[in-house]
Every structure is written in C-alpha cells, then in structure tokens.
Amino acid sequence: MLRRIKELWKSDNLLAQAWQDTYRMLDIDHDMFDRAIQLLRQSDSADAGDEILARDKEVDAFEQEVRRKVLTHCSVNSGSDLVGSMMLVTIVIDIERIGDYTKNIISLARSYPSRLEGGSLEPDLVRIEATVVENFDRTRAALEDSNEELAHEVLKETSWLSKLCDERVHDLVAGNVEDVTANQSTALALYFRQLKRVNSHLGDVATAVVNPFDRIGFKPKD
C-alpha cells in the first residue's frame, strides 16, 4: 500500500518534500542514538550531551514541517490522498518518539557516574545495541524503497529483542544478576528498557510498509 501511495505523491512537490523530511528525521535519530550509546558506554563524561540534545530540536522541527506540508496538501486538494496523509503523520510521531527515548539514554549517561558496563549481561547488551543500529538502517531503507522484505526483517528482529530486554529487566529487578552493583543494576534495567522502546518505534515505522493504515503499529497478519 505504501508503494502505491508514494507513486501517487511523486507528482506533488509538497508531499515529496514531506517524505524527504521524514527520512531526514530518521537520519538524525540514528546519529543521536549512536552518539548516546557512545556517551553512556564508552565515556566517563557526559559533557557532549548538550550537543546531542540539540539535534532533537531538529527532529521536532521536521515533524512540525511534515504536518504543515500534509495539512496544506489536504487543504488545497480538498482532502485527497487522506489515507496516505494520515499514514505519513502517524509515521513521524513514532520517529519523534525515538528521539525522546534517545534523550532518556543521554539523561542516564549524565546520572551514572562512569561508563556503563553490563557485567555478565554484556554479551546480550552488545547484541541488542548492534541490532538496534542495524534496524535503523533497515527501517530507513524499507521506508524509502517501500521494501517489504526489509520491513519484515525489522519486525523479526524486534520480536526476539523485545523479549530478551524484558527478560534482562526482570533478572535485574529480581536481583538475579550478582556481578553488578545496585546502582549498576538500576542503570542497566533502565537502559535495556530504553533500547527496547527505541527499537519498538522503529518496528512501528516498519509496519507502515507492510500494513494498511489501520494496522500501523501492529503485527502483520499471517
């Protein structure tokens, strides 16, 4: 469905610009996420946090710009392409939320006194971080190319990742991880949760490629 909608919109310069703004939002989120991870996991100082947070304002500005362009299009064209317009506005909400959860990672980096290490959970943490980074690339390509195969890959990775994050949060809260301090355990639980939420919103964006509008954010039907 998304492919058909975008084909119809190619002739509308305003909506073509809105799509480019949407891709740009994802690119900024990706950059913020990469730098937030580095800040939390590889640095003993969070001094660079302000620079990363400033990028979130760019995401917010692009979201507002997309809304304005979609609204102008619908007003001028008497509400034509309403489903596609609603779909695009829904997508940018998820993309904006990714920026919000990335800001939470930066806040965690500022609160935690040193670089965050996972102890015995480090292998899982590294695997999850790498998958989220890969899903940024997959989601961006799936959205721009209307690539359903890539979108399904994002959703497949999201399934196990969400489950693993929940399991590790449970282990930390229950006190089952014995080689980390209390402060470390709290920070890790928050971080696993934030990674899950960032990735879940990427998954929601990916559903727009494979689902009709009313099922964006839901698992595709078999």
Whether residue 17 contacts residue 62, with contact meaning beta carbons closer than 8 Å, is answered with: no
> Would residue 14 count as lying in a domain?
yes
> Would residue 51 count as lying in a domain?
yes
Domain that holds residue 13: 2-215
* Distances, alpha carbon 58 to alpha carbons 54, 136, 162, 191, in Å: 7, 18, 28, 24
> Would residue 222 count as lying in a domain?
no
Whether residue 59 contacts residue 99, with contact meaning beta carbons closer than 8 Å, is answered with: yes
Share of the chain above pLDDT 90, in %: 74
Q: What is the per-residue pLDDT for 7?
A: 58
Among residues 18, 1, 155, 7, the alpha carbon closest in space to that of 88 is found at 18
The end-to-end CA distance of the chain, in Å, is: 16
Say how many residues make up the chain. 222
> Would residue 85 count as lying in a domain?
yes
Q: What is the per-residue pLDDT for 79?
A: 60
> Would residue 208 count as lying in a domain?
yes
Q: What is the per-residue pLDDT for 112?
A: 92
Q: What is the per-residue pLDDT for 9?
A: 55
> Would residue 221 count as lying in a domain?
no
> Would residue 220 count as lying in a domain?
no
* Distances, alpha carbon 12 to alpha carbons 99, 147, 161, 190, in Å: 28, 22, 38, 43
Q: What is the per-residue pLDDT for 43?
A: 87
| pLDDT tens string 55-86 | 999 999 999 999 999 988 888 877 667 887 88
| pLDDT tens string 89-124 | 999 999 999 999 999 999 999 999 899 999 999 999
For residues 197-207, give the mean pLDDT.
Answer: 98
> Would residue 131 count as lying in a domain?
yes
CATH number of the domain to which 194 belongs: 1.20.58.220
Q: What pTM did the predictor assign?
A: 0.92
Structural domains in the chain (count): 1
Calculated CA dihedral for residues 53, 55, 57, 60, nearest 10 degrees: -120
| pLDDT tens string 3-57 | 655 555 555 678 888 999 999 999 999 999 999 999 999 987 767 678 899 999 9
- Residue appearing with tokens 């509008």: 213
| pLDDT tens string 140-151 | 999 999 999 999
